[in-house]
Structure 1
Amino acid sequence: MRALGLWGIGLLLAACTLTVEVRSPYRILRLETQPTYCTQGNTQLDYRLALEGWVDGLWFYWVPDGTPPSAASAEEAFYLKGPFSGLEVRGFLTVSPEGRVLGGVGVQGIRAEPLPDRRLWVRGVRDGILGPYVGAVNGVRPDSTSFCDPSW
C-alpha cells in the first residue's frame, strides 16, 4: 500500500512542469550631467550613466536639488523607452528653465524669479518592475549669462 502511495505521488510530480527563468540583475552606476542649465531658454541636458546588464527603459526625474525624485511632478519626469544595454548610456533631455522635461519639443519660457539648482535622477525598468532611484553625482546650476552653452 505504501509503494502504491509513493507511486501515485511520483506520477503527479511527473505530470507537473517547473520552469525557472533566471534574470541577471542590472545596476545603474554613476549618472553624470553637465554643470549648468540655461535660464533664458530650453537646454539640451547631456547625461551619461554606467549600466551593468540591460533595462527595458529609463525614467528620468528633473527636480530641484534636495527634492526626492518620488516627489517629482508629471512635468518633471520623462520615460525613455529602450531597451538599453552596454557599459555606458549617453544622451540628452530637453529641459525648460521652469523644470519641465520636454523631450524634443521646443518651448520658450521667461521667468523672473531665481531658479533652483537641480539634480537629474534615473530609474531603470525591466519587465514592468521599477528599480531604485540613482541620483546624478553632480547638481546642475542655473546659468543666466547671454552666452549660456552648457553642453559638454
Structure 2
Amino acid sequence: MRLPYKIVRLETQPTYCTQGNTQLDFRLTLDGWVEGLWFYWVPDGTPPSEALEEETLYLEGPFAGPEVRGFLTVSPEGRVLGVGTQGIEVRPDRRLWVRGVRGGVLGPYVGAVNVVRPDSTSFCDPSW
C-alpha cells in the first residue's frame, strides 16, 4: 500500500546530556501531511519496533510539510519526557526515529541520519 505522505531526512542535534534532561531538537521533511507523529528514542542499533514504552512519544497533529521542527525532552536514562536521576554513568549512543499516522494507518519508520552521542561534561548544552 502506498502512503499518501512521505517522511524523509529526520535530523537531530549531535549530543544529549548525561547529567540532566535535554531538549532534543529535531527537524524532518514531510511530503504531504499526517495526523500525528510517533517518536522512538532508542539506543543506536536497537530497532524502533523494540522501543520500551518510556522511549516512545505520540505527538498529535496535524502536521503538514515541507518542514516540521520541534524538540523532545529526554532524560539521560533514555526516557522521553521522563525525570532523570542524578549521577554520571556511561550511556549508549542513541538514535531518534519517527513514523507518521494517517487514517489510523502507521507509516514506515524513518531514522535520523545521525547518531546522538552522550555528553557527560558539566557544561553540556546541546545545540544544532
Quickly name the TM-score band, shorter chain normalised: over 0.9
Q: Cα distance, 1:24 vs. partner? A: 7.0
**Alignment partner of 1:52 is 2:31:** yes
Number of residue pairs matched? 127
Aligned to 1:90: 69
TM-score when scaled to structure 1?
A: 0.80
Distance 2:52 2:87 in 1: 19
Q: Cα distance, 1:151 vs. partner? A: 2.0
Distance 2:98 2:65 in 1: 16
1:138 counterpart (100, 114, 124): 114
Decide whether the 8 Å contact of 2:36 with 2:60 is kept in 1: yes
Please list every run of 5 or more consecutive structure 2 residues that lacks an aligned counterpart in the other structure: none
TM-score when scaled to structure 2?
A: 0.95
Aligned to 2:8: 29
Decide whether the 8 Å contact of 2:18 with 2:89 is kept in 1: no
Aligned to 2:78: 99
Computed over aligned residues only, the root mean square deviation of the Cα atoms, in angstroms, reads 1.5
Distance 2:55 2:87 in 1: 17
Distance 1:133 1:111 in 2: 33
Sort the Cα spacing of 1:113 and 1:147 in 2 relative to 1 into closer, same or farther, 3 A.
closer
Read off the aligned partner of 1:143 and give its amino acid letter.
D
Please list every run of 5 or more consecutive structure 1 residues that lacks an aligned counterpart in the other structure: 1-22
Aligned to 2:124: 148
Moved over 3 A (4+): none
Aligned to 1:66: 45
Decide whether the 8 Å contact of 1:56 with 1:84 is kept in 2: yes
SS at match of 1:30: strand
SS at match of 1:150: coil
Distance 1:25 1:59 in 2: 17
Sort the Cα spacing of 1:109 and 1:51 in 2 relative to 1 into closer, same or farther, 3 A.
same
SS at match of 1:70: helix
Q: Cα distance, 1:111 vs. partner? A: 4.3
Distance 1:148 1:31 in 2: 23
Q: Cα distance, 1:86 vs. partner? A: 1.8
**Alignment partner of 1:125 is 2:125:** no
Structure with bigger gyration radius: 1
